[in-house]
A = this chain, B = another copy of it.
Amino acid sequence: MTNPFEIRRLGPCLIPSPLKLRAGPGARHFVDDGERVLCNIEVMEGEEEIHSSERGVLEKAGPRENIFFPPGRVHAAIVTCGGLCPGLNDVVRSIVMTLYEQYGVTNVSGVRYGYRGLLPDAPWSLMKLDPTVVAHIHRAGGTILGTARGGGERTKDIVDTLQRQGIDVLFTIGGDGTQRGAALIADEIQARGLPIAVVGVPKTIDNDLSFVEKSFGFETAVSEALRAVDGAHTEAADSVNGVGLVKVMGRDSGFIAAHTALASNDVDFVLIPEVPFDIEGEGGFLWHLEARVRDSGHAMVLVAEGAGQSYVEMEGYDAGGNKKLGDIGVYLRKAIEKHFAERGLEISMKYIDPSYMVRSLPACASDSIYCARLGANAVHAAMAGRTACLVGRVNNRLVHVPIGGASARRNRVDPDGPLWRDVVSDTGQPALLKAASAP
Q: Measuring CB to CB, which residues of chain A are less than 8 angstroms from any residue of chain B?
A: 19, 22-29, 31-38, 41-46, 48-53, 57, 60, 62-63, 84, 93, 97-98, 101-102, 113, 116, 135-136, 138-143, 146-148, 213, 219, 222-223, 226-228, 230-232, 234-235, 237-240, 259-260, 262-263, 265, 348, 350-352, 354, 356-361, 364-366, 368-369, 372-373, 376, 395-398, 415-416, 418, 421-422, 424-426, 428, 431-432
Contact = CB atoms under 8 A, between A and B. Distances in A.
Nearest to A117: B240
Contacts of A350: 356
Given A48-B51, A425-B98, A263 B365 contact: yes
Nearest to A41: B38
Given A231-B356, A265-B138, A369-B222, A52 B46 contact: no
A231 B228 CA distance: 14
**A-B interface, 10 closest residue pairs, ranked by CB to CB distance from nearest:** A24-B431, A48-B52, A234-B360, A34-B45, A142-B234, A231-B357, A38-B41, A48-B53, A231-B360, A142-B238
A3 to B, nearest CB: 9
Contact of A84 (B22, B141, B234, B373): B234
B239 A147 contact: yes
A37 B44 contact: no
Contact of A240 (B148, B237, B352): B148
Most buried by B among A29, A32, A354: A29
Most buried by B among A43, A50, A226, A431: A43
A99 to B, nearest CB: 12
Contacts of A354: 354, 357
Contact of A230 (B22, B29, B141, B426): B141
B44 A235 contact: no
A46 B53 CA distance: 9
A146 B422 contact: no
A360 B230 contact: yes
A256 to B, nearest CB: 11
Given A57-B43, A262-B373, A136 B141 contact: no
Nearest to A259: B369
Given A84-B238, A263-B368, A27 B415 contact: yes
Given A142-B234, A234-B360, A422-B376, A113 B42 contact: no
Contact of A369 (B51, B231, B262, B359): B262
A240 B41 contact: no
Contacts of A231: 141, 356-361
Contact of A395 (B372, B396, B425): B396
Nearest to A233: B360
Contacts of A140: 136, 139, 234
Contact of A97 (B223, B398, B426): B426
Nearest to A373: B422
25 contacts: A24-B431, A27-B416, A29-B416, A32-B44, A34-B44, A35-B43, A36-B48, A37-B43, A41-B41, A42-B397, A49-B52, A93-B265, A141-B230, A141-B234, A213-B396, A223-B366, A235-B356, A262-B369, A262-B373, A263-B369, A352-B357, A357-B357, A372-B426, A395-B396, A396-B396
A38 B54 CA distance: 14
A356 B232 contact: yes
B421 A63 contact: yes
Nearest to A232: B356
Nearest to A98: B425
Most buried by B among A52, A135, A143, A432: A52
Contact of A235 (B265, B360, B366): B360
